[in-house]
Amino acid sequence: MITADFRAKAEKEWQKITNPSIPQIFIGMATCGEAAGALSIYKSIESTLMKNHIEARIHKTGCLGMCYCEPMVDIIKPGQPRITYRNLEPETAAELITDYLVNNNYRTDLALGAWGEAIDGIPNLFEIDFLKYQERTALKNIGVINPEDISQYIARGGYKGFEKALCTQQDEIIDEVEKSGLRGLGGAGFPTGFKWKECRKTESYPKYLICNADEGDPGAYMDRSLLESDPHSVLEGMLIAAYAIGCSRGFIYIRDEYPLAIKRVRTAIEQMGQYELLGENILDSGFNFDIEIREGAGAFVCGEESALLASIEGNRGMPRHRPPYPAESGLWGKPTDINNVKTLANIPAIITNGAEWFADRGTGSSKGTAIFALTGKVANRGLIEVPMGITLRKIIFDIGGGIPNGKEFKAVQTGGPSGGCLPAELLELPIAFDSLAVAGSIMGSGGMVVLDEDTCMVDVARFFLDFAKQESCGQCIPCRLGTKQMFDILDDITKGKGRQTDIDMLLELSESVAHTSLCGLGRTAPNPVLTTLRYFQNEYEAHINHKRCHANVCRLLVEEGNIDE
Amino acid sequence: MNKIAPVLSFFKKRDDKPSDKELIRENPCIDCSLCLEVCDKGLWPSILLEDIKNGRFADSKKHGIDECNDCGDCTTECPMSIPLFKYLRLGKILSFYNGNKSGLIPILLELQSNFGYLPKDMVSHIARFLKLPEGHIHSVASFYKSLRLTPPGRRHVCICRGTACHISGAPQLTRDTEKLLGIKEGETSTDNEYTLDNVACVGCCALAPVITVNSETYGKMNSDKVQKLFKKTDTKDENPG
């Protein structure tokens, strides 16, 4: 066990941070924070503290998910709540330090919110629109703790789920997960408990566990944020899964476009080793497990589980036919369980709080919460965790704050290249695995890109087909050539060379590609075309018949149109 | 003057570098042990080279290859111009994965982070070490987008083509950057200064459109900012320090 001593020490240490004797400063240093300039803020704050001889402690945290407010800084002053400041520049950050820490001026103009209570014109952070409707379980630690310090994670109840799991029968853990109704949050929505059970049943050893962090969907970054801001929650989920299934070796497959996530996970794994949470005889339970990081090398198709296996084995990442499923014959022919980052991050909470607690939220067949990366033409862009069954309108207009610059909402794209575009008529659609499938889209890994009136839907369809065409592994013909043909037709339409027969041709091609491709990439590649045709056929017709692009995106059409006039 | 300099004068100092074939088939090393003398860490690079060449990774670990700090002194001192330094780097990577075939992709990625690309000779060495056909390595290297077989420019510019970036103006940004740098996507400028590429998604969608230059991320780009970005880095480099 993590000794009670150590947990108490960690909690005491955390108490010192939340209820400090000297000011505590937290700077959001995830990739998005750094891209927004968090490093220069860090330097500026450090030098201001030195100059004014202020004794304070600086923590590097992850990202709170409010990417529209980056770079962000939190300050806890002795006797005051934690206050979050937004959109800082190096100069304003320096001002803030002197004003707040020296002159006791709250700087309400820079503040976003105070944690837990409203003070002096600063609203309660959790009451502002972006956070009010969210229910954070998997994301509960992001932006709160220092991801490179295991004791902060432990102080906030970390590894309690694993400790509880170690005292439980393995079958009971799997039953609990099955009862909770947790479904794979990587896109396909396969029941997690069932997968585990299958893998546990297979009589072949050793068994492997893989965490799929190859988040290739353009427009989605939930896994990156989670791994950068709270890697231990995912690793704890892996430990529980490995114990329940009986795996002895685990891999976490992260794409190499996320160097910071790789670094933080590496640190986290090292720390787990120090606290006997990895290796032989973990916490004196007789359970052995090791986690290894494998970097992806920039192939979208490796997010598909059989391609991922091929990549870990050191081959070209090409999918193979299923069945046999990895649960029977996976990595090196051994039973392998593959789960997404977000699925695993939900496990500790399910084990600690019980299946009923988890199943309480959500709709009939989609339990718990969904994590989305809300991006595109929306005012509040960021990471959200909402209960399943929430409507699109609530997400886009209440949490996201609507469309900026007074533009009109046109569509929302969910599920990346495998998903579809949903129009304004479907804004009341509740988010769940089944309802999205009926509308022609998918839940996907959780990318949610909002499109406004300046977006041309034909161009969006062309963009996704271009992506699918480039990322197709080239193994099966429907995907390799079908996506190319569809792309060519769409390209012609956007260039004003559309023919009357194009729409029928696209529909026909979509059907054959979707039905005959080998893996998920090909099978879902036509989705963006099908949904845009279903909901925005008038735009296709305008492009083909009148050579017009109403959004002024398709350049050749726009330029020719100008000449005509 | 070095202690064994008189002995060395018997050998003709080679100006040309020994070819890889030579290095493998014959051993140009004359056991002068100069490399041992210059090594700060007290390693014996020529012995390590033998270990690596014969695929004895356990031995190379025993001989302390992990301590090598890539200073390159052994290579400059070698009278036979053996590129020891290059081999030690490779050996370090391979010995970490213990010649395991499944480590191919991490090995290639690590090699690339050392050399910027996958040099052809190194690829053939890896093939020999891992006992894989060279064609297999080429098939893997050409499949993955992050692996490259040609050297990139000094500044590797990647434009994100994620969905959020696309609708926020990444196509226009690509055209602007192409015009500014005078190269098309996927090309390297003739002075080896810039390589322009695209990347599937760097996961900074809230800051779209995004450009990365040598893995540093720049958000909320537009054509003015692009101009400033490349101008700024240009002038900075002209006055180092």
The H-assigned helical ranges of A354-456 are 355-359, 392-393, 433-438
pLDDT tens per residue across span B75-118: 888 888 788 888 888 888 888 877 778 888 988 998 888 888 88
> Does position A410 have pLDDT exceeding 70, yes or no?
yes
B116, B143, B170 - which closes a domain: B143
> How deeply is A458 buried, as exposed, middle or buried, from its count of CB atoms within 10 A (0-12, 13-18, 19+)?
buried
Residues A482, A418, single domain; the answer is: no
Residue A405, pLDDT above cutoff 50: yes
**Listed residue (A344, A419, A416) closest to A184, CA to CA:** A344
Specify if A349 maps to a domain: yes
Positive or negative, the CA dihedral B77, B108, A464, A416 is negative
The strand pairing partners of A295, in sequence order, are A254
Q: Are residues B125 and B209 in the same domain?
A: no
Please report which confidence band the pLDDT of residue A560 belongs to, taking 50, 70 and 90 as the band edges. Answer: low
pLDDT digit string (tens) for A143-189?
899 999 999 999 998 899 999 999 999 999 999 999 999 998 887 78
Whether residues A474 and A442 fall in one domain: no
Q: What is the pLDDT of residues A460-477, one digit of tens each?
A: 999 999 999 999 998 999
Termini Cα distance of chain A: 77
Domain harbouring A413, CATH code: 3.10.20.600
Residues A436, A393 share a domain: yes
Could you tell me the CATH number of the domain that includes residue A553?
1.20.1440.230
Q: What is the mean pLDDT of chain A?
A: 90
> How many domains would you assign to chain B?
2
Sign of the torsion formed by the C-alpha atoms of B224, B227, B230 and B234:
negative
Would the pLDDT of A34 be above 90? no
**Average pLDDT over every residue of A222-233:** 92
Confidence of residue A220 (pLDDT cuts 50, 70, 90): confident
- Average pLDDT (A44-58) is 91
**Residues A29, A56 within the same domain:** yes
3-state helix, strand, coil in chain A (%, to 5): 50, 15, 35
CATH classification at residue B172 = 3.40.30.10
Least confident range from A62-66, A213-217, A232-236, B28-32: namely B28-32
Q: Are A44 and A90 in contact (CB under 8 A)?
A: yes
Looking at residue A363, its pLDDT comes to 85
Confidence of residue B60 (pLDDT cuts 50, 70, 90): confident
Whether A464 and A443 map to the same domain: the answer is: no
Q: A441 and A343 in one domain?
A: no
Residue reference for tokens 């988010």? A431
Residue B143 forms contact with A (CB below 8 Å) = yes
Q: Are residues B136 and B175 in the same domain?
A: no
Considering the domain boundaries, does residue B179 fall inside one?
yes
CB A269 within 8 A of CB A293: yes
Q: Are residues B181 and B131 in the same domain?
A: no
Please indicate, yes or no, if residue B71 is contained in any of the structural domains: yes
Chain A residues whose CB is inside 8 A of the B101 CB are 314
pLDDT in tens, A92-142: 999 999 999 888 888 888 889 998 888 888 899 888 899 989 988 889 899
| H or E element, residue A471 | helix A457-471
User: What type of residue is A93?
Assistant: A
Q: Does residue A469 belong to any structural domain of this protein? A: yes
Pick from B100, B215, B79: nearest CA to A294 = B100
- A79 in B contact zone (CB under 8 Å): no
CB contact under 8 A, A314 and B201: no
Q: Which of the residues A256, A414, A465, A521 would you substitute to probe the B interface, choosing the one with the greatest number of B C-beta atoms within 10 Å?
A: A256
The pLDDT of residue B241 is: 34
H/E stretch holding A506 reads helix A502-516
Q: What is the span of the domain harbouring residue B191?
A: 155-235
- pLDDT given for residue A559 in this prediction: 62
B169's tokens: 């103006």
Q: Give the separation between CA A374 and CA A450, rounded to whole angstroms.
A: 8
Would residue B149 count as lying in a domain?
Answer: no
Residue of A nearest to B138 (CA): A316
Q: Which two tokens stand for residue B176?
A: 């602007």
B111 and B162 in a common domain: no
A313 neighbourhood in chain B, CB within 8 Å: 102
Clarify whether residues A378 and A523 are in a common domain: no
In a domain, B37, yes or no: yes
User: Which of A215-229, B9-23, B69-83 has the lowest average pLDDT?
Assistant: B9-23
CB A126 within 8 A of CB A116: yes
Candidates A29, A54, A34; CA nearest to A145 is: A29
Relative to beta strand A24-28, strand A57-61 is parallel
Confidence label for A208 from pLDDT (cuts 50, 70 and 90): very high
Between helix B84-96 and helix B120-130 the angle, nearest 10°, is 40
Cross-chain residue pair A314–B161, CB shorter than 8 Å: no
Enumerate the residues of chain B whose CB falls inside 8 A of the CB of residue A455. 167
Q: Which of A 331-390 lie inside 8 A of B, CB atoms?
A: 332, 373, 375-377, 381-382
CA distances from A110 to A61, A92, A106, A223, A381 (A): 19, 9, 9, 29, 18
pLDDT for A486 equals 95
Cis peptide before A71 (omega within 30 of 0): yes
ipTM over 0.90: no
The chain B residue lying nearest A473, using CA atoms, is B143
Per-residue pLDDT reduced to its tens digit, B138-164: 999 999 988 988 888 888 899 998 888
How far is residue B161's CA from residue B178's CA, in Å, rounded to a whole number?
Answer: 15
Q: Across chain A, which distance is largest between two alpha carbons, in Å?
A: 80
How much is the pLDDT for A237?
95
Same domain for A229 and A343? yes
CB pairs < 8 Å spanning A and B: 138
User: In whole angstroms, how large is the CA radius of gyration of chain A?
Assistant: 25
What's residue B238's pLDDT? 44
| One domain for residues A196 and A289 | yes
Same domain, A116 and A218: no
Q: How many helices (H) does chain B have, and how many strands (E)? A: 13, 4
| Residues of A with Cβ-Cβ distance to B208 under 8 angstroms | 375-376
When pLDDT is cut at 50, 70 and 90, the band that residue B15 belongs to is: low
The pLDDT tens digits of the residues spanning A307-319 come to: 999 999 999 999 9
Give the span between the Cα atoms of B216 and B229, in whole angstroms.
Answer: 12
Distance from C-alpha of B216 to C-alpha of A38, rounded to nearest angstrom: 13
> φ, ψ for residue A107 (rounded to 5)?
55, 60
pLDDT at A269 over 90: yes
pLDDT, position B18: 59
As a whole number of Å, the end-to-end CA separation of chain B is: 35
Residues B200, A413: C-beta atoms closer than 8 Å: no
Distance of alpha carbon B106 from alpha carbon B205, whole angstroms? 27
Quick check: A100 and A48 in contact, CB under 8 A? Answer: no
In this prediction, residue B12 carries a pLDDT of: 53
The tens digit of pLDDT for each residue in A356-375 reads 999 988 888 888 899 999 99
Mean pLDDT in residue range B193-197: 90
Angle between the B84-96 and B104-115 helix axes, to the nearest 10 degrees?
A: 150
Instruction: Name the amino acid, one letter, at B73.
Output: D
Range of the domain at A500: 457-564
Number of structural domains found in chain A: 4
Contact B201 A257 (CB under 8 A): yes
The last residue of one of the domains, among B112, B143, B174, is: B143
Average pLDDT in the B208-218 region?
86
Q: Where are the alpha helices (DSSP H) in A275-380?
A: 305-312, 341-353, 355-359
The predicted pLDDT at position B7 comes to 58
Average pLDDT over residues A271-284: 90
Residue B14 has pLDDT above 80, yes or no: no
pLDDT for residue B115: 84
SS3 A356: helix
Of B143, B174, B192, the residue that ends a domain is B143
| Res. B239: pLDDT tops 70 | no
How many C-beta atoms surround the C-beta of residue A149 within 10 A?
21
In this structure, the answer to whether residues A396 and A522 fall within a common structural domain is no
Q: Which pLDDT band, with edges at 50, 70 and 90, does A511 fall under? A: very high
Q: At which residue do the structure tokens 């794979």 appear?
A: A184
Judged by CB atoms closer than 8 Å, whether chains meet at A317 and B144 is answered as yes
Are B205 and A463 an interchain contact pair (Cβ–Cβ within 8 Å)? no
- Give CA–CA dist A323/A521, Å, rounded: 17
Q: Is the CB of residue A373 less than 8 Å from the CB of residue A383?
A: yes
pLDDT bucket at B4, cuts 50 / 70 / 90: low
